[in-house]
Every structure is written in C-alpha cells, then in structure tokens.
Structure 1
Amino acid sequence: MRKPLPVIRLRSNGDFPLARDGVVLTFFMHRNHEEVFATVWRAMQTYLRAVPPKSLNWYDADDGDTLALDDNGWEVIRKRMLERPWNLGCSVELSEDAGEGEIAGGYQFEYYGRRLDDPFWKKPATAVSFTFPTEYLLEHGPDHLRALAFRLAWELPFSFGYASLAVVASYGYWRTSDWDLLHALRDRYLGLDLYDVRSTGSVIGTHARSASWLTFLGQPLLGQLGGIEGLRQALPFPEVVLLPLDSQRLLITLSEWPEAIDIQQGGIPPQYRALALKLEPFLYEKRPDWPASYLYHWIRRLSQ
C-alpha cells in the first residue's frame, strides 16, 4: 500500500522556485565519454518519448547562459554530445523551466561525460541523471517507472545507479534554498534523496552511493558484494526483488513504491537498512570540499 508522499516547494531568497518533490534516476559509469556518448544519447531519446512533450525547454549554453531548447538548441546539444572532441569530455544540462512559474520544474536531464585519466578529478565517473515530478509517478504508477528505469539502464554500462524520491532541482540548486526548511526535510524524510550529479560524479569512481528504492549494481561492485546469490542471502525480505539485467548487472527493488521513510511515522524499513549496511564498506571516499562533504554525511543516514 502506498504511503503519503511529501509535497516540497523550495524557493530562493529572491523568491525564485528552486526545488520540488519528485523522483531522480542516476547512473554512474566508469567509462570515458567517447565510450558511452552514443548509448547516453539513445537513453535520452527513450526518456523524451516517455515524458510529456516539451518537458525539457531550456539548456545551459557554453557561455553559462540559459537558452531556449528549440530546434537550434537541440542541434547544439546533438553536436555537443556526439561531435565534440572527445578529450574535452562533455556537459549537458537540460531543464523544464528557467526559474519561472510557481514551482520548479520536475523534468531535468544532466550528463557529465568524463575523461577517467583527467588529473583534475581524483576518482571520476561519467554520470547521467533523469528526473520526474511526483505527479508522473502517481499517474503512471511504480511499475511503469521501474520498467522505464530498466529500459534506460539496459544500454548503459553502469557501475552504480539508483532511483529515489528526491528534492528535485536543476544542477544541485537545492543548496541555495531555505536551509532551515531543507534541514527539516532531510531530518524527517530519510528516503528523500539530496543529489548533486556533477559533484558526485567527480568522486564516486566505481564505488557505491546509497541504498535506494531502485539500486542498480554493475561491476566491480556486484562482485564485491557477493554477486546475485550473495545479495539474495543478504536481503531475505519479501518486499525485495532482484532482477538481473545480465550476468554482470543487477537491479534491486526494495519496495513496491519508493519510500519517503518518514521517521515521524515509523523507523527505517529493514530491507533499506540491510542494503545500506551491505553497501557501506564500498561507499566513495569522503572529501572535505562542499557539497561533497555534506552529501557524504547524507548518504550514510540509513546505516547509522
């Protein structure tokens, strides 16, 4: 049975909408941009076919400006992802709106193609993220969103991925909102993800991030965790479903619906805690810089 899901509206000090409730789906791939750009492009097309038309309307230009995602804008994005010199990597940030309206947009796409030998990053991974407003989940149901996540994951050579209820905001802008309200949400809803894809992609390497409603495991993580059979023994809960994509990749579903984990209404579901404890030795290394340090503390919330 579905439990109530939080409704979130975060604004900046200048009263611009910054963040809202939704679902985030993120994959980290320990591959260079030139190895995955074509599969990421196809995954983005799958996402666009699944969401309402014109869900993405703005993109970040190379000069830092935010421009309308019209036909010319899409040609810019196509060239940036598919034709840009590979040794430069790639950054693509698409959003539903540009701080207009009463609430922040729920549809976002972010891609950060890395060079693994780039000395600027200590343990990088190429990262891609898709978001959905909560209304999409409620309209289509969890089975639909889980199947869509599976299709998006199918072609991606991920080492780790996840889908979770989240504070959805473009490019990690949740951190510029009302901190008192943000802290209250963080402390009450342990299943509500705070994410910064760009920051996490610079430190995660082949490591794990956190236990989530959907947790995707590739290599080497899957082997380090004991493989499919080892995880089946570690997660002997009726709510848990293990679905292999192939012999090297696995999807773990921890509950029918994504859990907000409202501590005012109960404790941490045992299957969430069990997977969090299993993943903890394989979390990425803590970094002192912000927001990486803030996010590292947050991802350990289910195992403490």
Structure 2
Amino acid sequence: MAVVTMRELLDSGVHFGHQTRRWNPKMRRFIFTERNGIYIIDLQQTLTYIDEAFEFVKETVAHGGTILYVGTKKQAQEPIQEEAKRIGMPYVNHRWLGGMLTNFQTVSKRLHRMKELQAMESEGGFEGRTKKEILMLTRERTKLERVLGGIAEMHKVPSALWVVDTNKEHIAVNEAHKLNIPVVAILDTNCDPDVVNYPVPGNDDAIRSIAVLTRVISAAVIEGKKAREERALAAAKDAAGDSQREEAVEVAAKVEAPTEVAAKVEAPAEVAAKVEAPAEVAAEAKAAEDKATPAE
C-alpha cells in the first residue's frame, strides 16, 4: 500500500511551486512544467522521494532515534504542533533559538528553569510574593513555554530534523549540518536541495500541503515505534527462552546427582563380592583334588 497517493498530493496542492521569477535553478530537475507564471512540481518524483524519506524516518525511530519537527512560519505552526504532539516527538513551531542544537547544554538549563517555574506555580510557590514578582515570574514562564515548550522532554540532540521551509529555518539546518544530523525537508522551487539529506519536493507554503506531508512523516514515526516495540518483545522472549533453558539444565543436574550418590553407595558391595571370590575358587579346587585322589 502506498504511503500517500498522487490524488492526495494533487488535492492538497503539493504540486504548486513559486512564481517563475522566484526560484532556485538547482530545483530545475524537480520541476515538471510552468503554468501561468507558476512552476509545477513533478509529483512522480515527489512520490519517489517520499518513499525514501519514509524509510529513513522509520528506521531511525525503530533504532531508538527521535525526529525534531521544525516549522515556525505561520502556515506550518499548527500542523507541526498537532502532528508532533500526536506521535510524541519534540517540535519547534515559534522561534528557533540560535544554539538550540549546537549549544544544547545551555538550552537544557533554560528547560530546567521552565520546569522549575511550572512546579513553583502548581505547588503554591508564588505565595508570599508581591504581585509584581508574580507577574514577572509568570511572564518568564510563558516566554519559555512558547519557545521551548515543544522540546521540554528532549533530553539530547535529535537523530534527525523534519523541516518545513529550509530558507526560513536556515539556522536550524546549519546547526544540524555542524552536528552531522540528517535533515528531511519539504523543498519548494525556491529552495536549495544541496542542504537537505532527504528532500521531499513540494509546496511549503500551503497549509494543506504542509499537513499532508507532515502526516506522512508521522506515519513513518509510528511504524518505526511499532518496529522498535516488536524488536524489544522478540529480545525479551529470547532472553526468557535462554533463562528457561538454563533452569532446565540446572534441574536436570540436580536430578542426576542422587543417582551418582547411590552408585557410589553400592560400590562397597561390589568390592565385598570381589573379596569373597578367592574363597569360592579355593573350595572348588579342594573338591577337584578329593575326586582325583583314589580311595584306600
């Protein structure tokens, strides 16, 4: 079964590129034609690249990786947040903080501060403070949640990025390259394909286009999680099987032990029999001698 159909892509407007005067010549190979001053993206190629991106994301998640969803432009904010929350992946949909990847240690401190303020508010930590202090702390928490709320549970740099509009998110893409983190992204006709590891040619401006392509990535994440769970279950069964085999060997060894002891206990009787054997031989020899001697 196809990950997504040509009809779904057409209905979502994935094939619409930018105006012909706003394009990147490097995207020429992904363009099907030009119509009314608008470039039309070759959706046949899009389907091929979607399959490649799907497999990469699936395998990354299956091996324990995480995908960071990035889309801060207005059209991308809602689909990015909805899909990332639905599948339990981190996301950035407001503003990308410089150093979010390359200086993750500092970002982690800000995350700690955000959680500290959240706990303070929920546990009555604001009591006894002035209204001004409470207002300042609340504003600080709100600001941190707006920027860092989507990565609150991201304890290390992600395994890969899903990016909507590489031109707008160029800082995120550059940081990913510095850390050798693969980038999967929608490539519109004004983008540079050289900065993306797994390109998905398509419209990165229409909400429906962004939503359908992001759902494809989310489907890959879900399949990756299922594969990870199946591998973990298989490993647990193998471990249980090995444990049962070891227990069976131990039980068998305990059952055989009394038999060996009994054999050792019976051994003296055999020795005694061997000791009595010379007396029987002597008696038989005397009887033979009596028969051979003639009566007087």
Of Structure 1 and Structure 2, which has the larger fraction of its residues in helix?
2
Larger radius of gyration: 2
* Higher percent of residues as strand: 1
TM-score by length of structure 1 reads 0.23
Highest relative contact order (Cα 8 Å, sep 6+), 1 or 2? 2
